[in-house]
Amino acid sequence: METKIIQIRQKGAITVPVELRRKYSLSEGDIFTLVDLGSGAFILTPGRSEVARLGDQVAEVLSEEGVSTENLLQVLEEEREEYYKEKYVQG
């Protein structure tokens, strides 16, 4: 594991050291995923998070179908309640 010190510049820009850019074939315009671990710690990884990509796909499908996030959450809550009643409430 190698540690590098970097500095945040104007508008929040950071520079990835040239050794790492070469080592990982990084170039201007590449996309990174930044994960906030809390307590001031971050993970910065090249590429786009698979979770974010899948989330974007779900959002696109919902938008195409005319389903709002609020509507989706409401339906999920109703389904959860129904499942709970069927599974745990003895009638």
Is pLDDT above 80 for 53? no
Pairing mode, strands 41-46 and 32-38: antiparallel
Q: What's the rounded Cα separation, in Å, for the pair 6 and 32?
A: 16
Sign of CA dihedral 51, 57, 59, 62: negative
Number of residues that make up the chain: 91
For the chain, the domains span 10-48, 51-88
Is pLDDT above 90 for 21? yes
- pLDDT tens digit string along 24-36? 999 999 999 888 8
Q: Which two three-digit tokens encode residue 51?
A: 């979770």
Higher-confidence residue of 91 and 6: namely: 6
| 56 confidence band (pLDDT: 50, 70, 90) | confident
Share of the chain above pLDDT 70, in %: 98
Give this prediction's pTM.
0.49
Instruction: Name the average pLDDT for the chain.
Output: 87
H runs (alpha helix) in the chain: 18-23, 50-64, 69-88
